[in-house]
Structure 1
């Protein structure tokens, strides 16, 4: 009875923040699979992490669904919470690396049926991402309690989800029939447009808030790394969609447009990559400041992984496309930083999980 009661309380306190773990693990196995340098067991390790991440995501999805069904009174407080609600964006974003893993790892072994499965899961992810990207900001506009001095880059989380799905479109498109691939790539550009301009508006607000109110409280200190997310994914989307477009639109009236998209992808990706350098250096400087204050561990620490990871992915794609060694070197160095941060956060998460310190939903404080 005590075990069941404990599990029930964990379900009740389960938050969408947990899906940030699947985002972080996901980008790590994708980077491992894409590294231009190779080591023994690299592919096996990447596939194993993908399999583990898939199982973990399914467990999280079951727990979150159980919370919504068994404890419907917790839904409104979650949606009205100005921070907790933002992490709903982690649900579709955590699914994207798993979809990419299906294409990269399972596709070559099992063929077209696997690619069809990935396509249907991607469609579900797109719908979920768009609903959250519109719904959560709408709640922020209508009823959530926000203050400018408390604004952080966490506000990006629901907005960025569609552009993450857009980058996955380019991974999936080459493995589908051309007529379907064309729709997917077109949808990818629309998803990119839904996210990136709004993300840059938020980045502007974050910049201005930092100027006026300085760094956020140390509990949200890691959120400074989230600024890399839309920049890295935005660059990655332009690069990968541009590379996938010519083959998909070959022989159609839009063939020349697809070539332009490829060239624009390189230019646009490089411009966004350059902007990312500024935010990356700022994030490192911010962390040096917080280190002196002491950063309390929470699930937000997983924000150290996915945003940096997508920036690494964009860097490596720039290398694969341009063959400029500078991008290879920077990509490998940043990949090493990513793996180091991932290991630190993973160890701290497992330790906190063992001691039962992570199951707490701040939005339910008034209900307890």
Structure 2
């Protein structure tokens, strides 16, 4: 929710939609500590269940949304030019969480003796490894711009940018094999597959932010020059996924029929918002003004997806819950 709301807010701000940007920014600021409180309460009350989730091939990668949410929040602070003194704190906090969660999760699933097959163990949430890694690169770039672009920080941003790209190459190969050479049922075509777009879109944004850094250090200049053409590949890949995912999700909806709110729908909002921000920033830094129309059009799609998901969430939360005490129906009060 923080990732989706925050990146749509960033997109609105970049496109000059200030009246929309600030309310979205406020929503993400409220949601961030609230979700932390819920997570910490669950860890305190149900530590075994949390650990089981963390070691799961299916649910474990979703913990990396914590890292990505920090990166999006930092991007908001930079783009809105507010609370920017928190950028160094967010960067080091995110880096620590990234190391703990990425190495902890990969170690847990590697040493596990009971492992699912590819069809049951791999889903779009695995691409959060890419999203979390690239969010560190984006956060490092924003921090570098405000601290005189120190070479160690620029090198760290470049390293996480390239590492995230390599992780995407590894995971996308598995995903392509899963889609094309294994049966796919409508129920398996869940919203997290949209992270196919979000993962390369945030890599594109990281590339655009690297292109915006000053190239004063001759030792890093060669690496920075490599970023511009490589980012074209990332942007083209993120663009490629969108029509295919639209087709597949229409197929799923026609086969599955109408259904209500699903928390996984935030996995659709984030990639759309990230694609808008990434395209706008890349077009600006590469001086490709003919791409300008794309983020302006897709922004409204992202905003609509956010609005429908946000309203759907509240409809579900406020709907009276039905329970059956002693075999009789009972209407519980709204949450």
Q: Smaller-chain TM-score range?
A: 0.7 to 0.9
Corresponding residue number in structure 2 for 1:28:
8
Corresponding residue number in structure 2 for 1:195:
164
- Residues 221, 295 of structure 1: 8 Å contact kept: no
Q: Determine whether 1:225 maps to 2:194.
A: yes
Q: Distance in 2 between matches of 1:178 and 1:279?
A: 33
Q: Determine whether 1:279 maps to 2:222.
A: no
TM-score, length-scaled by structure 2: 0.87
- Residues 194, 271 of structure 2: 8 Å contact kept: yes
For residue 237 of structure 1, the aligned residue among 198, 206, 215 is 206
- Distance change (3 Å), C-alpha of 1:177 and 1:321: closer
Corresponding residue number in structure 2 for 1:311:
275
> Secondary structure in 2 aligned to 1:305?
helix
5+ residue gaps in structure 1? Answer: 1-20, 108-113, 358-368
- Residues 335-350 of structure 1 aligned to structure 2 (within 5 Å): 335-350=299-314
Q: Distance in 1 between matches of 2:186 and 2:250?
A: 14
Instruction: Report the Cα offset of residue 178 of structure 1.
Output: 4.3
Instruction: Report the Cα offset of residue 261 of structure 1.
Output: 4.2
Q: Determine whether 1:288 maps to 2:250.
A: yes
Instruction: Report the Cα offset of residue 221 of structure 1.
Output: 2.1
Q: Determine whether 1:299 maps to 2:263.
A: yes
Corresponding residue number in structure 2 for 1:62:
37
Q: Distance in 1 between matches of 2:96 and 2:258?
A: 36
Q: Distance in 2 between matches of 1:196 and 1:303?
A: 20
Q: Determine whether 1:117 maps to 2:86.
A: yes
Instruction: Report the Cα offset of residue 343 of structure 1.
Output: 1.3
- Residues 86, 158 of structure 1: 8 Å contact kept: yes
5+ residue gaps in structure 2? Answer: 322-335
Aligned residues: 317
Q: Deviations over 1:100-120 (max 9, x none)?
A: 22223244xxxxxx4332111
TM-score, length-scaled by structure 1: 0.80
Which moved further from structure 2: 227-236 or 347-356? 347-356
Corresponding residue number in structure 2 for 1:365:
none
Which moved further from structure 2: 85-94 or 307-316? 307-316
Corresponding residue number in structure 2 for 1:167:
138
Corresponding residue number in structure 2 for 1:149:
119
CA RMSD of aligned residues (A): 2.1
